[in-house]
Amino acid sequence: MTAKIPNWVNDFDVVKTFDETENEKKGLDALLDQHSSNLNFKEGEVFKGTVVGITDDFVTVDIGYKQEGLVFAKEFRNYDGTLKVNQGDEIEVYVERLESHLGNLVLSKDKAEILKAWDRISEACEQGTPVQGTVMAKVKGGLSVDIGVKAFLPGSQVDLRAVKNLDKYLGKTMEFKVIKFNKKRGNIVLSRRAILNDERSKMRGETLGQIQEGMIVKGIVKNITDYGAFIDLGGVDGLLYITDMSWGRVKHPSNLLTIGDEIDVKILKYDQDKERVSLGLKQIQDNPWDTAHEKYAIGTKVSGEIVGVKDYGVFVELEGGLEGLIHNSELSWVNKKNPAKDYNVGQKIDAQVLEIDQENSRISLGVKQLTPNPWDQMSDKYQVGMKIQGKVKSVVDFGAFVDVDEAVDALIHVSDISWTKKNVKAADFFKEGENVEAVVLTVDKENQKFCLGIKQLDEDPWKKIEERLPIGSIIEGEVVRTTDYGALVELETGIEGMIHISELSEERVENATDVLKQGDTTKAMIISIDKDAKKIALSLKAIDRENMQKYNNNEVVESATLADKFKGIEIKTSDS
């Protein structure tokens, strides 16, 4: 059927019948199909094309096919997200699908570049030659690198040392080695570490040839351990021990150094056979002990920070590399302090220099010297023999401590409680909180002893014992106890005498109880007195001896015998 055309349009040559237009369209389609078939488009091959459109998601490319193809825009993005493509650019693309399920031509720039660069990459991998690339983005496990195609650089292959911050490599162009590739999958794995290792090997020989003990060289902190740090000197690692990092105290190398730091170090020792290098950092710094005697003269008041607390004292850092010790005995004039309870690391403290030993790098400090010594006043305030009063602060096995309103508590020792009682227990005489009167016995500033006594409130009964109980006199007393070696007789309240078993009778006595028993009343002669030891020796058999002269320095028995002189003396027993 031919379309009917109005008469007024017959004058124009351009007017064509509907059938003619339709035929031209079919002819154009046939021409495009013929052109496309001439190019022989096939999936899996690379073709040149022109960029004809750009959106955020896709780049449209005309490769001469009957329809334009789409390439994902992400294949053109830089590491910062910007697109590196412009409309009109001629590029090569890989035909993934001539017609997708949506009827689109699907293209890929990345796969085209991979196919194009594959021979070059394969050759670089086989021969070990480096390839140049630019780090495009940070991806899981490493970095994405553009070497003409996208390749993967694992985090472990970025540097010789572990790298925590990969962002600093973004946008950088570097050389890499291809260490793995899979043509079918299009995977390429790179290594920058391999390049650095090669460079390090070349540098190692040069560095070892130049190293000499005493040199100061630059290095980079490669690794940090508990005992020191490894420093890269340029292909050669040197060990910097923690003891050579600073003249002062270093808790851990990480407190001074960080991996990647560039520092100056001194070659302390170089073992050529083992290729081991020992380094020093403090050796290129001034030793504070060289001038310590000038800055810290004896008597100088100093300030510092506590850097160590031990059972025996406190260490104070006066300046970097210089510490002093405050011994326990120098913390207080009167109280024994526990450093662990009274002081903390990091605390600021004032002290006084007591002694300096520059040769052994030691400074002795004191805190108590900054305050008045209470013993200076006490020695003037309390005279020996003075009676004072105080309150019992505490009772211990060896005595009682008494508070007399001083910085120092006074001690009443058990030996100063009674003149006559033995095995005295302080708890039997004192109770905490009660008031007590005592006599000042000792105010010893040097040994820091303040001693009191209560027995001194009364006269020592032993002082005039010989006047009351002269040697050779016969006394009467009660047997308070017997032992294997004799019997004890109470002569006065609290004063006892001992009748040794050998003095019980002229005849041999096997057991004291054969002659005397506890509770018996007996007469005996005093044969010796030891006031210092507070001992009195008695005798029964001396009463019956004829000559008493050797037991009595003051009397001479003339003609009468002991038997005559003491005839009629009776021994009363508990049974009589």
How far is the CA of 360 from the CAs of 31, 307, 502, in angstroms? 102, 19, 66
Residue 570 lies in a domain: no
Same domain, 470 and 559: yes
Q: Which residue has the tokens 């594959």?
A: 118
pLDDT at 338 over 90: no
- pLDDT value at residue 547: 46
The pLDDT tens digits for 386-435 are: 898 999 989 998 999 998 877 788 899 988 888 877 788 888 889 999 99
- pLDDT value at residue 315: 92
Same domain, 490 and 555: yes
Same domain, 394 and 435: yes
Average pLDDT along the chain: 81
* CATH number (domain holding residue 106): 2.40.50.140
**What's the whole-model pTM score?**
0.44
The DSSP code sequence of 57-76 is SEEEEE-SSSS-EEEEGGGG
Residue 541 lies in a domain: yes
pLDDT at 188 over 80: yes
Stretch 363-379: mean pLDDT: 85
pLDDT at 548 over 50: no
- Alpha helices, DSSP H, located in 261-313: 292-295
Number of folded domains that form the chain: 7
Of the given ranges (21-25, 416-420, 539-543), which has the lowest mean pLDDT?
21-25
User: Per DSSP, what are the bridge partners of residue 477?
Assistant: 522
Contact of 511 with 536, CB cutoff 8 Å: no
Residue 202: pLDDT band by 50, 70, 90 thresholds? confident
Residue 121 lies in a domain: no
Same domain, 480 and 561: yes
Stretch 281-310: mean pLDDT: 86
- pLDDT value at residue 54: 92
Which is it for strands 362-366 and 322-327: parallel, antiparallel or unpaired?
parallel
- pLDDT value at residue 7: 42
Q: Which are the contacts of 279, defined by CB distance < 8 A and separation ≥ 6?
A: 219, 231, 238, 239, 240, 244, 265, 266, 267, 268
Residue 87: pLDDT band by 50, 70, 90 thresholds? very high
pLDDT at 566 over 80: no
- pLDDT value at residue 284: 84
Same domain, 469 and 549: yes
Residue 575 lies in a domain: no
Residue 434 CB-density burial (10 A; 0-12 exposed, 13-18 middle, 19+ buried):
exposed
Of the given ranges (19-33, 36-50, 530-544), which has the lowest mean pLDDT?
19-33
Which is it for strands 276-280 and 237-241: parallel, antiparallel or unpaired?
parallel
Same domain, 487 and 556: yes
Same domain, 538 and 472: yes
Same domain, 470 and 485: yes
Same domain, 490 and 515: yes
The pLDDT tens digits for 204-247 are: 766 777 778 888 888 889 889 999 999 888 778 889 999 888 88
Task: List the one residue out of 421, 437, 436, 307 whose CA is nearest residue 365.
Answer: 307
Q: Read off the amino acid at residue 530.
A: D
Stretch 442-455: mean pLDDT: 86
Residue 123 lies in a domain: no
Stretch 450-473: mean pLDDT: 86
Same domain, 68 and 45: yes
Written as six digits, the tokens of 273 are 């056979």
The pLDDT tens digits for 528-539 are: 998 888 889 999
Residue 274 lies in a domain: yes
Contact of 557 with 519, CB cutoff 8 Å: no
Stretch 539-557: mean pLDDT: 58
Q: Which of 400, 435, 457 is the last residue of a domain?
A: 457
Give the residue numbers spanning the domain of 152: 128-196
Q: Which of 313, 337, 370 is the last residue of a domain?
A: 370
Residue 281: pLDDT band by 50, 70, 90 thresholds? confident
CA–CA dist 523, 263 (Å, integer): 98
Residue 205 lies in a domain: no
Task: List the one residue out of 137, 90, 121, 247 whose CA is nearest residue 186.
Answer: 121
Q: Which of 284, 314, 333 is the last residue of a domain?
A: 284
Task: List the one residue out of 260, 272, 321 whose CA is nearest residue 295.
Answer: 321
CA–CA dist 157, 2 (Å, integer): 75
